[in-house]
């Protein structure tokens, strides 16, 4: 019972971290049709900046999170303007080549600037220790991560379903050319969504640093996981991504707890099974 | 009159193709010879280049000619390597040609398996399926350590002399010439294959699968067949790797190996055998040079090279060069 409970909490927290990081990828992929393998690199940059701000500059945890998100967006905007904008609509292979190249550069620079060691982000005092639920205790940090995931999901749902920006965004996802013809400034929509996606990636990278430790090969190690989650959920769908993250997080965590010697075998087996049954993802639409 | 011109054209085209073959073979032999005389102490690198070139050629068959995006092609390569290695290490069959055959068979079977799974989806899901597949192969080889040696690698491979005459020496001379011969044979066979009606059918599928189906072709069957052929080619590379290095590691079945192969292919240019070869040679030389010159920044340099290629030579290095030469010719004509 204790095992089941701790697996459930860890799985939920892991799934939420995956969700916060990869939802941005899902939205940009649905919107701009870019296979962005460099998304994990932005999460890593966020983690590094937060670690630098909290440990070397002595800022508090909340300030470090905000600094990480803002600084990562500032780094990402010129990348979007000068590199990504050239590969919108290019063949998939070209996009893969370009974004792998960006990932390699980021890894190399991070390795040079921050060193090859693992970086920790000191937690705020309130997030350390464990919370008593009456019948069980769980680490407060896990609880915090789960709440962050829920908050991001709700905020995104509200922004996309209830605001005028969301209406324009959905119109551009469905048919960019038609939306542009109706007066939607699609390039602004693209830039804003890209910035939000990168900001969320950085946020997830910082908040999830306890579960996905920040080191130079972070970008390469989890690149595949984020891509898999988006593909299983169906690019561009928030509920799909949420379900996919929770499902795959549960499968991966359970596999690690109960059969650690099999590594990620069951994770990838599940991925193949799901994609064979739902070739467009769990919430993918028929085009 | 029209008929005469047609046959005239055909004869010309035939001649041009034939001279293309001849130039290609000469170029491969010449580059091999240059490599042999410039790096006499580093034949292992050249042999490694040949094995990877075979992997990239095989990837070109499915990605360049059929339009299947895959990041899991090392599964075919690794299967060939492990089959050849297991034959020698566990069964004591040390004849290099038999090991090669085992590699080809295992590669073809792995190709059939991956093709059956990967071809079920398109676009991004297809890419993800191929990634999941290579990880499954990797975990499986890691788990079956009594057969594959797990993370320690499979050792104890001791190939006999080829035909009982040419022994595998310490300097890698025999392995190099064996590899060059294999590469030439595979190259010529593939030139025939991609120009055959079957090769044309595959190109047609890449451009418009719906239309091929309307014309009575079966895209799925053709693609699976191409996957099996591609597996056999990758198996040749894998077996050559096992024979020449006498060890098979888990990295031959890794995602990184697959991604590198794809990078080399796109770097050289997809849909052309020369593109696959030149991409491999350029990438591996660059990697070797940069990682020796500056081990801390080589990943950054490789990344910058990839970005530069996408920005300035979007058809790949060979593809862009070929387009440039064609434009020059047309301008002169």
What whole-number distance in Å separates Cα of residue B118 and Cα of residue B230?
Answer: 14
Closest chain B CA to residue A279: B121
List the single range of A9-18, A81-90, A160-169, B136-145 with lowest mean pLDDT: A81-90
Q: Is B293 on the interface with A (CB under 8 A)?
A: no
Which of B118, B126, B131 best probes binding to A when mutated, by most A CB atoms within 10 angstroms?
A: B131
Q: Is B91 on the interface with A (CB under 8 A)?
A: no
Which of B135, B206, B263, B293 best probes binding to A when mutated, by most A CB atoms within 10 angstroms?
A: B135
The DSSP bridge partners found for residue A139 are A130
Structure tokens at B58: 């095989």
The DSSP annotation for A64-125 comes to HHHHHHHHHHHHHHHHIIIIIHHHTTS-HHHHHHHHHHHHHHHHHHHHHHH-SS-B--PPPG
Q: What residues in A contact B131, CB-CB < 8 Å? A: 224, 227-228
Mean pLDDT of B243-261: 88
Higher pLDDT, B10 or A160: A160
For residue B157, the model assigns a pLDDT of: 82
For residue B60, the model assigns a pLDDT of: 94
Q: What residues in B contact A87, CB-CB < 8 Å? A: 310
What whole-number distance in Å separates Cα of residue A150 and Cα of residue A147?
Answer: 5
For residue B1, the model assigns a pLDDT of: 44
CB atoms B300 and A281 under 8 Å: no
Q: What residues in B contact A35, CB-CB < 8 Å? A: 124, 127
**Non-local CB neighbours of A52 within 8 Å, separated by 6+ positions:** A114
Scanning the structure block, which residue is given the tokens 């792995």? B110
pLDDT exceeds 70 at position A114: yes
Higher pLDDT, B269 or A2: B269
Predicted confidence band of residue B237 (pLDDT cuts 50, 70, 90): very high
For residue B112, the model assigns a pLDDT of: 95
Taking only the tens place, the pLDDT of each residue in B72-85 is 999 999 999 999 99
Question: A125 vs chain B: nearest CA distance in angstroms?
Answer: 37
**What is the separation of C-alpha A178 from the centre of its chain, rounded to a whole number of angstroms?**
29
pLDDT exceeds 60 at position A286: no
CB atoms within 10 A of CB A77: 14
Q: What residues in A contact B267, CB-CB < 8 Å? A: 97
Question: B135 vs chain A: nearest CA distance in angstroms?
Answer: 7
List the single range of A19-33, A144-158, B96-110 with lowest mean pLDDT: A19-33
For residue B11, the model assigns a pLDDT of: 62
CB atoms A227 and B143 under 8 Å: no
Q: What residues in A contact B128, CB-CB < 8 Å? A: 227-228, 231-232, 271, 275
pLDDT exceeds 80 at position B226: yes
pLDDT exceeds 80 at position B15: no
CB atoms B124 and A272 under 8 Å: no
Predicted confidence band of residue A282 (pLDDT cuts 50, 70, 90): confident
Burial zone of A230 (CB within 10 Å; 0-12 exposed, 13-18 middle, 19+ buried): buried
Q: Is A102 on the interface with B (CB under 8 A)?
A: yes
Question: A225 vs chain B: nearest CA distance in angstroms?
Answer: 10
What whole-number distance in Å separates Cα of residue A37 and Cα of residue A98?
Answer: 9
Taking only the tens place, the pLDDT of each residue in A124-170 is 777 777 777 767 777 888 888 899 999 999 998 898 888 999 899 88
Beta-carbon pairs below 8 A across chains A and B:
136
Q: Is B262 on the interface with A (CB under 8 A)?
A: yes
pLDDT exceeds 50 at position B61: yes
Q: Is B309 on the interface with A (CB under 8 A)?
A: yes
Evaluate whether B266 touches B305 at the Cβ level (below 8 Å): no
Higher pLDDT, B231 or B323: B231
Mean pLDDT of B158-174: 79
DSSP-based three-state secondary structure for A131: strand
Taking only the tens place, the pLDDT of each residue in B187-223 is 999 999 998 999 999 999 988 888 989 988 888 999 9
CB atoms B121 and A279 under 8 Å: yes
CB atoms B314 and A90 under 8 Å: yes
CB atoms A93 and B262 under 8 Å: yes
Q: Is A44 on the interface with B (CB under 8 A)?
A: no
pLDDT exceeds 80 at position A34: yes
Closest chain B CA to residue A261: B143
How much of chain B exceeds pLDDT 90, in percent?
36
pLDDT exceeds 90 at position A213: no
* Nearest CB partner across the interface for A108, out of B129, B142, B300: B300
Q: What residues in B contact A263, CB-CB < 8 Å? A: 139, 142
Q: Is B211 on the interface with A (CB under 8 A)?
A: no
Return the H-helix or E-strand segment holding A258.
Answer: helix A238-258
Dihedral of CA atoms B301, B304, B310, B311 in degrees, nearest 10, equals -140
Q: Considering the entire predicted model, what is its pTM?
A: 0.87
Domains assigned to chain A: 2-277 (1.10.3470)
Mean pLDDT of A177-204: 90
Closest chain A CA to residue B136: A265
**What is the separation of C-alpha B30 from the centre of its chain, rounded to a whole number of angstroms?**
20
Q: Which of A41, A37, A24 is nearest to A87 (CA)?
A: A37
Residues 93-122 of B with CB under 8 A from A: 117, 120-122
Q: Which of A193, A244, A214, A251 is nearest to A27 (CA)?
A: A193
Q: What residues in A contact B74, CB-CB < 8 Å? A: none
Q: What residues in A contact B127, CB-CB < 8 Å? A: 35, 92, 96, 227, 231
Asked whether the ipTM of the predicted complex exceeds the cut of 0.90, the reply is no
For residue B99, the model assigns a pLDDT of: 92
Mean pLDDT of A174-188: 87
Taking only the tens place, the pLDDT of each residue in B260-291 is 899 899 888 888 899 999 999 999 988 888 88
Q: What residues in B contact A102, CB-CB < 8 Å? A: 303, 307
Average confidence score pLDDT of chain A? 85
CB atoms A96 and B266 under 8 Å: yes
Higher pLDDT, A250 or A235: A250
For residue B42, the model assigns a pLDDT of: 82
pLDDT exceeds 70 at position A287: no
For residue A285, the model assigns a pLDDT of: 58
Q: What residues in B contact A96, CB-CB < 8 Å? A: 69, 71, 127, 262, 266
pLDDT exceeds 60 at position A53: yes
What whole-number distance in Å separates Cα of residue B197 and Cα of residue B61?
Answer: 15
For residue B12, the model assigns a pLDDT of: 59
Question: A282 vs chain B: nearest CA distance in angstroms?
Answer: 11
Structure tokens at A263: 């590594």
């Amino acid at each position: 019972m204790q095992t089941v409970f701790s697996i459930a909490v860890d799985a939920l927290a892991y799934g939420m971290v995956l969700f916060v990081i990869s939802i941005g990828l899902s939205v940009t992929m649905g919107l701009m049709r870019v296979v962005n393998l460099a998304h994990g690199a932005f999460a890593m940059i966020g983690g590094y900046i937060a670690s630098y701000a909290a440990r070397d500059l002595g800022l508090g945890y909340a300030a470090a999170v905000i600094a990480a998100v803002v600084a990562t967006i500032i780094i990402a905007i010129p990348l979007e303007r000068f590199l990504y904008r050239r590969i919108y609509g290019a063949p998939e292979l070209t996009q893969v080549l370009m974004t792998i190249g960006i990932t390699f550069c980021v890894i190399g620079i991070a390795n040079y600037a921050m060193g090859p060691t693992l970086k920790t982000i000191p937690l705020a005092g309130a997030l350390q220790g464990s919370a008593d639920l009456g019948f069980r205790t769980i680490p407060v940090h896990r609880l915090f991560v789960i709440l962050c995931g829920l908050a991001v999901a709700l905020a995104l749902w509200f922004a996309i379903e209830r605001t005028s920006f969301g209406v324009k965004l959905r119109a551009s996802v469905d048919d960019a050319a038609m939306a542009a013809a109706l007066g939607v400034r699609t390039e602004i929509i693209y830039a804003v969504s890209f910035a939000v996606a990168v900001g969320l990636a950085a946020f997830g990278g910082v908040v999830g640093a306890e579960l996905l430790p920040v080191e130079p090969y972070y970008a390469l190690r989890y690149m595949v996981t984020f891509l898999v989650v988006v593909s299983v959920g169906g690019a561009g769908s928030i509920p799909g991504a949420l379900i996919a993250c929770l499902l795959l997080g549960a499968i991966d965590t359970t596999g690690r707890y109960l059969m650690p010697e099999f590594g990620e075998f069951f994770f990838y087996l599940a991925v193949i099974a799901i994609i064979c049954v739902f070739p467009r993802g769990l919430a993918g639409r028929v085009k | 009159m029209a008929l005469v011109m047609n046959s005239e054209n055909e004869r010309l085209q035939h001649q041009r193709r034939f001279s293309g073959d001849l130039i290609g073979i000469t170029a491969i032999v010449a580059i091999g010879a240059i490599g042999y005389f410039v790096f006499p102490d580093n034949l292992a690198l050249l042999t490694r280049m040949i094995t990877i070139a075979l992997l990239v050629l095989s990837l070109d068959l499915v990605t360049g000619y059929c339009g299947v995006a895959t990041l899991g092609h090392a599964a075919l390569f690794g299967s060939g390597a492990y089959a050849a290695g297991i034959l020698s290490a566990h069964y004591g069959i040390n004849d290099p040609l038999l090991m090669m055959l085992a590699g080809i068979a295992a590669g073809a079977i792995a190709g059939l398996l991956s093709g059956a799974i990967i071809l079920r989806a398109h676009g991004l899901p297809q890419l993800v399926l191929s990634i999941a597949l290579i990880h499954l192969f990797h975990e499986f080889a890691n788990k079956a350590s009594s057969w594959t040696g797990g993370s320690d690698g499979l050792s104890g491979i001791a190939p006999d002399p080829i035909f009982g005459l040419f022994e595998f020496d310490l300097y890698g001379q025999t392995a190099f010439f064996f590899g060059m011969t294999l590469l030439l044979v595979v190259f010529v066979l593939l030139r025939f294959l991609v120009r055959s009606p079957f090769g044309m059918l595959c190109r047609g599928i890449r451009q418009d699968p719906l239309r091929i189906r309307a014309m009575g072709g079966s895209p799925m069957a053709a693609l699976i067949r191409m996957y099996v052929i591609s597996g056999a080619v990758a198996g040749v590379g894998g077996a050559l790797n096992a024979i020449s290095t006498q060890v098979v590691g888990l990295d031959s079945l890794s995602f990184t190996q697959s991604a590198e192969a794809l990078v080399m292919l796109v770097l050289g240019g997809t849909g052309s055998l020369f593109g696959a070869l030149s991409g491999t040679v350029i990438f591996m030389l660059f990697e070797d040079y940069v990682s020796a010159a500056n081990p801390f920044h080589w990943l950054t340099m490789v990344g910058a090279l990839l970005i530069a290629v996408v920005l300035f030579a979007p058809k790949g290095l060979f593809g862009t060069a070929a387009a440039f030469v064609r434009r020059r010719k047309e301008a002169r004509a």
